[in-house]
Structure 1
Amino acid sequence: MYSLILHGRRSVELQKRRNLRVSLNYLQNAFAFSNSFSSSANVNPPQANTSFTVSYLVESLGLTTKLAETISRKVTFEDKVNPDSVLNLLRSNGFEDSQISRIVTTYPRLLVQDAETSLLPKLRALQCRGASSSELAEIVSKVPKILEKRVGRSLSLYYDFVKEIMREGDKVSGSWTEGKAKNRIRNISVLKELGVPQNLLFSLLISRCQPVCGKEKFDETLKKVVDMGFDPTKSKFVEALHVVYEMSDKTIEEKVNVYKRLGFSEEDVWRIFKKWPFFLKFSEKKIGQTFETLRRCGLVEEEILSVLKLRPECIRSSEEKILESVDTFVGLGFSRDEYRMMIKRFPQCFGYSAESLKKKFEFLVKKMEWPPEAVVLVPSVFGYSLEKRIVPRCNVIKALMSKGLIRGGNPPISSVLVCTDEEFLNRYVMKQGKLVPELMAMLTGQHVS
């Protein structure tokens, strides 16, 4: 029954982990970056609205154009009336522009809320909890999702809970001493003592599934996850907590047996679980469907197992997504055998959009004139950012070739794109003397090719 624990147990030094704490700056950065799922109802807007939104965000909040463009893919507006009213309300309640920028980055739809009827009542409700202007601004800027809650008990409890997590001490406020809330704050305190960072505690709070509820079930789940050797300071610890909390021992054993029937060993399953805990969440039908779809792509059983061991997240790709991926690569001129080779080497290829793949292929093969065979050998190039990595580095290579400093055609694609930034600088930039400032400008985005 407890193969969950037996296949991955290692010793855990709990006393050392009690001293683990994450700084406030890390918490701020983590929340500014996280919650990419913040608005499932957003759709891509017309180009004109997007351009206005980008300009507004840059001018009103001082955001970079790139960040503004990212936000504009989640929310847009035709004029500045509504967003102005939201920004003015926040500023009048003590929010600084740096805090507002973090809030908008994490929760863009705030800018299209009605300031008077939606946002203001929430701010007033939080102030009624005893929050000063500075405290309110600090908490909301760290956890903007609080503004999604409805005015009432849900919003108030959420605020109290967030405030409690942020406290330096371990004392529990009086409002949390009754009912379910008592168990939740007790469980959060246990996780804090283990060293779980604040940003991961917040993710547990925000999640619809609450593995921090209850007492006996929480204790049992936590023991299993700790005994398996998951590091409490890492996100995979929380992922494992979710999975084990939601599934009975019998269900877990059944999922393991499904994978064993498809060719995985039990050790393989637990090794993959440690890499990606959600591996055990999929139904037998979904698992079998993914295997069958990969067979239709030309992969034999051994290759399918290899791909999923390397990149288990591929199992969540839909049949349509996988087959579209095949069509995209074939449409670019690759054979099905070449596609199979690329997927074996870099399974992440499943996840990229046709538009992204085409842009990178056009640049690498047609503009830079690397042969398609070079891409087949190093398919990981499709995973690099075109704007941040591929184009800047290739600009340097083109400049060196034009000056006769690189002869005999392009260097190998791996020596240009796969190496680290430091290796690239040492290999192609730092030895060029007077050209170093010009080449560095290309890498930092100050050069237009």
Structure 2
Amino acid sequence: MYSLTLHGRRSVELHKWRNLSVSLQKASSLFNSFSSVATTVSPRVGGKGKNFTVTYLVDSLGFTTTTAESISKRVSFEEKANPDSVLNLLRRHGFTDSQISTIITDYPKLLIADAEKSLAPKLQFLQSRGASSSELTQIVSTVPKLLGKKGHKTISVYYDFVKETLLDKSCSSSYEKLCHSFPQGNLENKIRNVSVLRELGVPQRFLFSLLISDRQPVCGKEKFEETLKKVVEMGFDPTTGKFVEALNVIYGLSEKSIEAKVNLYKRLGFDVGDVWKSFKKCPVSLRVTEKKMLDSIETFLGLGFSKDEFALMVKQFPPCIGLSAEMVKKKADFLMKKMNWPIQVVVSNPTVLGYSLEKRTVPRCNVIKFLMSKGLIGSKLPPMASVLAYTNQEFLRRYVKKHEDKQLVAQLMDIYLAS
């Protein structure tokens, strides 16, 4: 690990770690202020109020009996006064019936919370921070468990994360679904650690998935700080996904494990610099086990590649060492036997082994074979990179849409889409 860190330090400015130290200190202060985090709802689950609960949910919220019965397994009550006060409070704050149904489905325990003493102050606090009525209803509907937490700072931090995630155009709609999984585990640690990553410049779309995940990198305190320091010193850019990947990998490996894996690569002919470059390109490459590496070598040698050629391919495209033997054989067989590209071409373009055979390689190659059979691009195979490495749009522009014959273009599109 020490050797990898030394290589990384050559490409990272030392002030980044000083900034990180400041961020860690700030986060520690934040951590101390969250020591009293707790839920304010103490539900009674099941019990003799189950039948009453089912009837109430059907009559008051329009749930089907099946849905109501499912919810009643998570919470039950015997009187309607408290749930009525909760529903009335939500309606007064602008929540629609649809949003209220979503909230109760995701977090039914809210129905037995104290509307005036617990829920109302939280909604008022969020409004006092400048949340508009539409923002408030959208965000609380997305993460209703927010109202089950205690402490304005805790609520504020999570509210901000959800808000920024929903407003961030770079985040896909799948992140909105992720919001429904409220952070589990030690919330204090997660808030502190994710706040540190935020100050370093890690994009929101990565932060929120880390926050709600049960995976390890943002759990704990000392191990997180130790791991983060290593990743920063290695020179990973915090604004990229590879920074988060590296954080995941390094967190899960001991010093002894890392040294053992570096030695595995050395046996393949890599020096430490090569291992570092591969790790920078593909952080998960450091997770490769000895068995996986030996299986990969055996697979590639069996297909006619030399050991040196395999090492060269790994240096250019580290993920190829983790591809399944079955998939490598299928792809190599198609490229070298059915398409007749020489083995040296595959060695020079190892990324093609990472492309989907069914969705990318076969459709494009079928177009090329048809064009060659008609003498429209000559009898010689075009360069592999121009066929497989270009984007779909560029491939179609170069080999399909450029033809003036509309009938031919339609035929080529049929071949491309039918493959």
Q: Same fold (TM over 0.5)?
A: yes
* SS of residue matched to 1:8: helix
- Give the conservation status (yes or no) of the 8 Å contact 2:191–2:211: no
* SS of residue matched to 1:5: helix
Where does structure 1 lack aligned partners over 5 or more consecutive residues?
Answer: 21-90, 96-114, 169-175, 403-449
Aligned with 2:16 (options 4, 14, 17):
14
- Give the conservation status (yes or no) of the 8 Å contact 1:273–1:279: yes
Q: How does 1:225-304 map to 2 (within 5 A)?
A: 225-304=231-310
- Give the conservation status (yes or no) of the 8 Å contact 2:110–2:148: no
Aligned with 1:122 (options 93, 100, 106):
106
* SS of residue matched to 1:299: coil
Establish whether residue 358 from structure 1 lines up as the match of residue 362 from structure 2: yes
Aligned with 2:396 (options 391, 396, 401):
391
Counterpart CA distance in 2 for 1:373 and 1:294 is 26
Q: Deviations over 1:28-53 (max 9, x none)?
A: xxxxxxxxxxxxxxxxxxxxxxxxxx
Q: Deviations over 1:323-360 (max 9, x none)?
A: 111232355341xxx34223212212223214632321
Counterpart CA distance in 1 for 2:110 and 2:365 is 51
Aligned with 1:341 (options 328, 336, 344):
344
- Give the conservation status (yes or no) of the 8 Å contact 2:139–2:159: no
Q: Deviations over 1:255-298 (max 9, x none)?
A: 00011011111110011111111111111100111121111121
TM-score scaled by structure 1? Answer: 0.55
* SS of residue matched to 1:247: coil
- Give the conservation status (yes or no) of the 8 Å contact 2:4–2:272: no
- Give the conservation status (yes or no) of the 8 Å contact 2:231–2:243: yes
- Give the conservation status (yes or no) of the 8 Å contact 1:279–1:312: yes
* SS of residue matched to 1:294: helix
Q: Deviations over 1:144-172 (max 9, x none)?
A: 8x79x9x999xxxx99864253578xxxx
Identity %, equivalent residues: 38
- Give the conservation status (yes or no) of the 8 Å contact 1:230–1:236: yes
* SS of residue matched to 2:237: coil
Aligned with 2:161 (options 149, 160, 165):
165
Deviation at 1:249, TM superposition (A): 0.5
Aligned length, in residue pairs: 287
In structure 2, the residue matched to 1:199 is 205
Q: Deviations over 1:31-87 (max 9, x none)?
A: xxxxxxxxxxxxxxxxxxxxxxxxxxxxxxxxxxxxxxxxxxxxxxxxxxxxxxxxx
Deviation at 1:367, TM superposition (A): 2.9
Aligned with 2:385 (options 379, 383, 387):
379
Deviation at 1:5, TM superposition (A): 1.4
Where does structure 2 lack aligned partners over 5 or more consecutive residues?
Answer: 24-94, 112-118, 127-132, 165-181, 407-419
- Give the conservation status (yes or no) of the 8 Å contact 1:8–1:228: yes
**Closer, same or farther: CA 256–208 of 1 in aligned 2, 3 Å:** same
Q: How does 1:101-180 map to 2 (within 5 A)?
A: 121-122=105-106, 130=123, 134-138=135-139, 162-166=158-162, 180=186
**Closer, same or farther: CA 332–354 of 1 in aligned 2, 3 Å:** farther
Deviation at 1:242, TM superposition (A): 0.6
In structure 2, the residue matched to 1:316 is 322
Deviation at 1:207, TM superposition (A): 3.7
In structure 2, the residue matched to 1:211 is 217
**Closer, same or farther: CA 194–266 of 1 in aligned 2, 3 Å:** same
Counterpart CA distance in 2 for 1:353 and 1:166 is 38
- Give the conservation status (yes or no) of the 8 Å contact 1:162–1:202: no
* SS of residue matched to 2:186: helix
**Closer, same or farther: CA 355–229 of 1 in aligned 2, 3 Å:** closer
Greater CA drift, 193-202 or 278-287: 193-202
- Give the conservation status (yes or no) of the 8 Å contact 1:12–1:226: no
Amino acid paired to 1:14? K
Higher Cα radius of gyration: 2
